[in-house]
Amino acid sequence: MTAHVVQRSTAETTLMRQFETEKLSSSPRRADAFGRFIAGGLPTRRVESWHYTDLRAAMRDAAPLAPAPDSGAIEDARAILTDRKRMAAWRIVLVDGRLVAELCDQFPPAVSFSREEPSPVDVDDPMVALNEAMSVEAYVLKVADGARVEGLIEITHISTAKDARSVYSRVAILLGIGASASLIESYLGAGPGVQRNSLAILTLAEGARAKHVVLVEDDAELHIESRLGQLAAGAELNDFVLISGGALTRRQLFHKLIGPEAKITLGGLTLLDGKRRSDTTLQVVHAAEAGTSREYYRAIVDDEAVGTFQGKVIVENAAQKTDGAMKSQAVLLSPRAQMNAKPELEILADDVVCGHGATVGSLDPEQLFYMMTRSLDRDEAESMLLEAFGEEAIRRIEDDVLAEALRRPFWAWLARERVARVGGEGEIHWVESAS
Amino acid sequence: MMQAAGPMLEIKKLSVSIHGAPILEDLNLTVRAGEVAAIMGPNGSGKSTLAYVIAGKPDYEIVSGEIWFDGEDLLELEPNERAQKGVFLAFQYPVEIPGVATMTFMKATLNARRRSRGQGDLTTPDFMRRVREASQMLKLDQEMLRRPLNVGFSGGEKKRLEILQMALLRPRLCVLDETDSGLDIDALKVVSDGVNALRDPERAFLVITHYQRLLEHIRPDVVHVMAKGRIVASGGPELALELERNGYRDYAEAAA
Ligand SMILES: Nc1ncnc2c1ncn2[C@@H]1O[C@H](COP(=O)(O)OP(=O)(O)OP(=O)(O)O)[C@@H](O)[C@H]1O
Ligand SMILES: [Mg+2]
């Protein structure tokens, strides 16, 4: 008689060993989380929400856990920060998932950042469970009730490893009643050996408002990012991502509107070239009345890259008067580029207005011809159309400072694209603000 | 400026088809520097096709024939290279480009044309001055130029914007495809004045129109009649008057 034999992949076996040897298993909470992860193991296509990203196949092994940053790593992180234009008034710096106090700013009184395990959020996903099991540290950023933070708060995730390392980071962001803040999260420094599993819990109390921008610019082998949001009555979250780097990027968003009249606006611009892959999978649950949700994602896909957008908006029984709209639009620049788009609605209430759509296409040849008859070479015309395509997405953040922060990596990617396509300097001289 | 020895534009026995269907057949046409040539002809006779083929639209199959521009083989060149050498097509239906501000676009095109001639980019004040002058001449509200290119512009505004771009780019050969259609009586005069201001011994115009009225404002040197994909008659301005009276019946038969 043979028992049911579970065939573990190399990566899964390594993860099990890491979990034991790093003494993480002594915590019952972690042990429970690891148990939830290992029950199904790394996700494959058979898991619906992972249908387009077979992580088990993609992950040949799990990289060794990144150690706490030493002084060399901290200096490397400092150098990365020095090279960038500073955008934020207040900066929090995590190096390989750990806070480096000497690189951080002092916060204003209404804002605190502390080492603390956030309260659990009920989301059933193997990589969310793995993050809970493996994250050595967790942090909570709190904005006090009624506080309106004027400057931009930045959370910078830096990886300095030169070789294969896995990095777990875990942050919760709590906005108190009526609080408001603008946040930017940047992922920097990761080279092609880095496997990242980053998790953020966003909790907005009644009437809180957050604008949140995420930049994924570095070149991790694996960038897995989970965002778990809860919006109370009248809360508003506007979350936008720009992805211009990473061999395999998976962003998964699980947001829930738990109070009435909450409003969520999600958007993103994904820029893909080479053999890169990027998967955005989101779920928005309307659990209370009169909520509004908007999801607008755009992608530019070149070469043999593959983009994926899976969006599911669930309108529960109680969520009458929900107003939802979801759209995914992609431009393919090469015959071998691919985009998978699957927007879905699951509506259990009867009095709702919801719509969704997806378009995938190439640049319009009539537009290109028109532009070329005015002297622009094909490349310049294409760049202009692409810039317009991306700009329309970026504009939805409705914040000048954040929009500017998004344009910089977008233009940098466009310039690199031009160099790759035609050679030369890749200068985009026509760029001017449209105002 | 370069002085071509022969005609500026010479089209020889040009046959063009699309998806296997012949549209232009053995078309011959010559335009000299300084000349204003009108092309008239019934709907579907191939006027826009001819204009597009001169500008280099990729959809067409050039079955046979040649197009020479200033002694160069135009068919060898990309649309932007033709534009850089001085070919301009004012579209019958200008294309809308959402997200690209009209002003930004015009500046980029003007600089691209300048760079192709070894000139440096215009400074912003210099560019703005030229735009201001041209838009005043064409009675175009400059505020409009902040909006995305052609998006939400009225038919007449789009046509005036085509001429504005032409005035900025100062091409050698201006092909106007029904620029008069969609213009009200006043706008027709304004646009014609704009075109006439650009008349020059070094510049030529190929004016495609259905109406004699435009030709009262822009006096042509030659009128060509096109039917069924070829030029079937050529004459002086009086030919346009005759067409206005008698229609195309005689010429359609001639082409068949
Ligand atoms: N993309 C296309 N596919 C198929 N047929 C085409 C295409 N473009 C043009 N044609 C055909 O070619 C012929 C000539 O068209 P064209 O637009 O050049 O005519 P025109 O003389 O400009 O007419 P009008 O006076 O109505 O503007 C028409 O019969 C038209 O249907
Ligand atoms: Mg026509």
A88-131 per-position pLDDT tens digit: 889 999 999 999 999 999 888 899 999 999 988 889 999 999 99
- Give the residue from A191, A341, A196, A166 showing the smallest Cα distance to A270: A341
pLDDT digits 0-9 by tens, A369-399:
999 999 999 999 999 999 999 999 999 999 9
CB contact under 8 A, A372 and B83: yes
- Predicted confidence band at A423 (pLDDT cuts at 50, 70, 90)? low
Testing ligand 1's pocket by substitution, the residue of B15, B40, B47 carrying the most ligand atoms inside 8 A of its CB is: B47
Nearest residue CA, atom 16 of ligand 1? B46
Angle ∠(A230,A236,A237) on CA atoms, nearest 5: 70
Mapped onto helix, strand or coil, the DSSP state of residue A365 is helix
Instruction: Please report the pLDDT score of residue B5 as a whole number.
Output: 53
Kindly list the residues from chain B whose CB atom is less than 8 angstroms away from the CB atom of residue A432.
104, 107
Average pLDDT value for residue range A230-241: 98
A370–B94: do the CB atoms touch at under 8 Å?
Answer: yes
Collapsing DSSP to helix, strand or coil, A356 comes out as strand
Q: From chain A, which residues contact B within 8 Å (Cβ)?
A: 365-367, 369-378, 380-381, 384-385, 387-389, 391-392, 429-430, 432, 434
**Nearest CB to A374 within list B58, B98, B165:** B165
Alpha-carbon gap: A80 to the closest alpha carbon of chain B (Å): 34
Residues of A in contact with B104 (CB under 8 A): 430, 432, 434
Spell out which residues line ligand 1, taking CB within 6 angstroms: B 18-19, 23, 41, 43-49, 59, 92
A373 and B55 in contact by Cβ < 8 A? yes
In chain A, what residues touch B108 (CB-CB under 8 Å)? 376, 380, 384, 429-430
Which residue from A367, A384, A392 is facing B95, i.e. has the nearest CB? A367
- Considering CB atoms only, which of B58, B83, B99 is closest to A374? B83
Per-residue pLDDT, B1: 42
Please tell me the distance from the alpha carbon of residue B74 to that of residue B8, in angstroms, as a whole number.
11
| pLDDT computed for residue A370 by the predictor | 98
Residue A231, classified by CB atoms within 10 Å of its CB into exposed (0-12), middle (13-18) or buried (19+), is: buried
Show residues of chain A in contact with B148, CB under 8 Å. 388
Does residue A7 or residue B55 have the better pLDDT?
Answer: B55
Count other Cβ atoms within 10 Å, centred on residue A405: 24
Q: Look up residue A270 and give its two tokens.
A: 């994904």
**Cα–Cα dist A143/A124, whole Å:** 28
Q: How far is B88 from chain A (nearest CA, A)?
A: 7
Q: Which of B14, B16, B18, B19 to mutate to test the pocket of ligand 1 (most atoms within 8 A of CB)?
A: B18
Beta carbons of B163 and B191 less than 8 angstroms apart = yes
pLDDT in tens, A263-322: 999 999 999 999 999 999 999 999 999 999 999 999 999 999 999 999 999 999 999 999
User: B56 and A373: CB-CB below 8 Å?
Assistant: yes
pLDDT of A430 reads 38
* Three-state DSSP state, A418: helix
Residues of B whose CB is below 8 A from A377:
78, 80, 112
Neighbour tally for B104: CB within 10 Å: 21
Question: From the CA of B214, how many Å to the nearest CA of chain A?
Answer: 24
Tell which one of B17, B48, B230 to mutate to probe ligand 1, the residue whose CB is within 8 A of the most ligand atoms. B48
> Which of ligand 1's atoms lies nearest the C-alpha of B41?
21
pLDDT digits (tens, 9 = 90+) for A351-371: 999 999 999 999 999 999 999
Asked if residues A173 and A205 have their Cβ atoms less than 8 Å apart, the reply is no
At A93 the pLDDT is: 97
Minimum CA distance residue for ligand 1 atom 24:
B43
Q: Which residues of B touch A374 (CB under 8 A)?
A: 83, 105, 109, 112, 165, 169
Which of A366, A369, A376 lies at the smallest CB-CB distance from B112? A376
Of A370, A372, A378, the CB nearest to B91: A370
A–B CB contacts, 8 A cutoff, strictly below: 87
Tell me the mean pLDDT in the region A387-413: 93
Whether pLDDT at A43 is above 50: yes
Virtual torsion, Cα A268, A271, A277, A281, nearest 10 deg: 10
Mutate which of A368, A373, A383, A385 to disrupt the B interface (most B C-beta within 10 Å)?
Answer: A373
What is the pTM assigned to this prediction?
Answer: 0.90
SS (H, E, C) chain B: CCCCCCCCEEEEEEEEEECCEEEEEEEEEEECCCCEEEEECCCCCCHHHHHHHHHCCCCCEEEEEEEEECCEEHHHCCHHHHHHHCEEEECCCCCCEEEEEHHHHHHHHHHHHHHHCCCCCCCHHHHHHHHHHHHHHCCCCHHHHHCEECCCCCHHHHHHHHHHHHHHHCCCEEEEECCCCCCCHHHHHHHHHHHHHCCCCCCEEEEECCCHHHHHHCCCCEEEEEECCEEEEEECCHHHHHHHHHCCHHHHHHHC
Smallest-distance ligand from the CA of B52: 1
> Cα distance from B99 to chain A (closest Cα, Å)?
5
To test the pocket of ligand 1, the residue of B14, B19, B49 to mutate (highest count of ligand atoms within 8 Å of its CB) is B49
Ion ligand 2 — residues with CB under 5 Å? B 47-48, 92
Average pLDDT value over all residues in chain A: 93
Whether A425 has a pLDDT exceeding 60, the answer reads: no
Ligand 1: which atom is nearest the Cα of residue B229? Answer: 14
The answer on pLDDT for A16 being more than 50 is yes
Amino acid at B45: S
B56:A372 CB<8 A: yes
For A178-195, what is the mean pLDDT? 96
CB contact under 8 A, A369 and B108: no
Low-confidence ranges of chain B (pLDDT < 70): 1-5, 252-256
Is pLDDT at A340 greater than 90 in this prediction? yes
Residue of A nearest to B168 (CA): A374
Tokens for A293?
A: 């949700």
Q: Categorize the per-residue pLDDT at A25 as very low, low, confident or very high, splitting at 50, 70 and 90.
A: confident
Coil, strand or helix: which one is A115? strand
Nearest CA-CA distance, residue A378 and chain B, Å: 8
Q: What interface predicted TM-score (ipTM) does this complex get? A: 0.96
CATH number for the domain running over B9-96+172-255: 3.40.50.300
B contacts of A434 (beta carbons < 8 Å): 101, 104
